[in-house]
Amino acid sequence: MPALSTPHSQVITPLGVPSSAHWAFSQDIEVLPRIFDDHITLAVMERRLDVALTLAVRSQLACQRGVEWHWRGAPGLAMQEDLARRLPAPEAGDALVEDIGNIAEAMAYLFSTATIGIRLRTLEGAMCPRFHVDNLAVRLVTTYAGPASEWLPEHAVNRAGLGAPHPDKPDIVADPAAIRQLAIGDLALLKGCGWVSNEERGLVHRSPQPAPGERRLLLALDPG
């Protein structure tokens, strides 16, 4: 799997996390294949953005023009060149282009596919403010700036409330104190309802609402 810059650590079970937990967190990239475990619906490689990448992100967000880039195809030089051309501050985007290239190659390797769907965009509002599940098999998300995605442990979900809102539906969140949030830079694989044998257990998550004047920079990748 392509290397991604991060401190190395072993995969451990933090204190207070039940052994039956459906999530796995580690600073080691080897945590990402845990998404293939039947009981895991969230696998997260925790990482901090280095100085060069942080500066590249800030340079893009400092421009009035937002980022709105889509790609579907093989990761590689053509993808990176297309991304560089479409950044609002391409002269300061090398570290961001390289990081996205590494993530796309890791995604292709992990899922044995030559085709990756990629979306990089700035957001000033919540893209999906209601807790929901994805109908696709799996998606990787990472937030480069702004508030990162929120998710719910299974014990805090009332799945009867999912889907289109209706007055007769119960609240999706059974325990508001249990809402959890990813961190900036985290690489998170979210298993959806399209994953075979996971039809009723897709990870419940949502996009947070940025503060007034705040912008998110969000990357999402879908294999195949």
The span from the CA of 153 to the CA of 211, in Å, is: 25
184-187-192 Cα angle (round to 5): 120
pLDDT at 1 over 60: no
Tens digit of each residue's pLDDT (9 = 90 or more) over 83-105: 999 999 999 999 999 999 999 99
Whether residue 171 contacts residue 181, with contact meaning beta carbons closer than 8 Å, is answered with no
Report the percent of the chain where pLDDT is more than 90: 80
Chain length of the chain: 224
pLDDT at 196 over 60: yes
Going by pLDDT thresholds of 50, 70 and 90, the confidence category of residue 129 is confident
Whole-structure pTM over 0.75, yes or no? yes
Q: What pLDDT was estimated at residue 75?
A: 96
pLDDT at 19 over 90: no
Please give the class, per CATH, of domain 23-223.
Answer: mainly beta
Going by pLDDT thresholds of 50, 70 and 90, the confidence category of residue 15 is very low
pLDDT mean across residues, the chain: 91
Q: What pLDDT was estimated at residue 73?
A: 97
The span from the CA of 137 to the CA of 85, in Å, is: 30
Per-residue pLDDT, averaged over 113-121, amounts to 97
Going by pLDDT thresholds of 50, 70 and 90, the confidence category of residue 127 is low
Going by pLDDT thresholds of 50, 70 and 90, the confidence category of residue 125 is low
Least confident of 9-18, 108-117, 204-213: 9-18
Per-residue pLDDT, averaged over 169-177, amounts to 94
The span from the CA of 185 to the CA of 218, in Å, is: 10
Q: What is the 3-state secondary structure (H, E, C) of the chain?
A: CCCCCCCCCCCCCCCCCCCCCCEEEECCHHHHHHHHCCCCCEEEECCCCCHHHHHHHHHHHCCCCCCEEEEEECCCHHHHHHHHHHCCCHHHCHHHHHHHHHHHHHHHHHCCCCCEEEEEEEECCCCCCCCECCCCCEEEEEEEECCCCEECCHHHECHHHCCCCCCCCCCCECCHHHCEECCCCCEEEEECCCCCCCCCCCCCEECCCCCCCCCEEEEEEEEC
Residues 6+ apart with CB under 8 A from 211: 147
The span from the CA of 106 to the CA of 75, in Å, is: 9
Residues 6+ apart with CB under 8 A from 139: 189, 190, 192, 220, 221, 222
Whether residue 186 contacts residue 47, with contact meaning beta carbons closer than 8 Å, is answered with yes
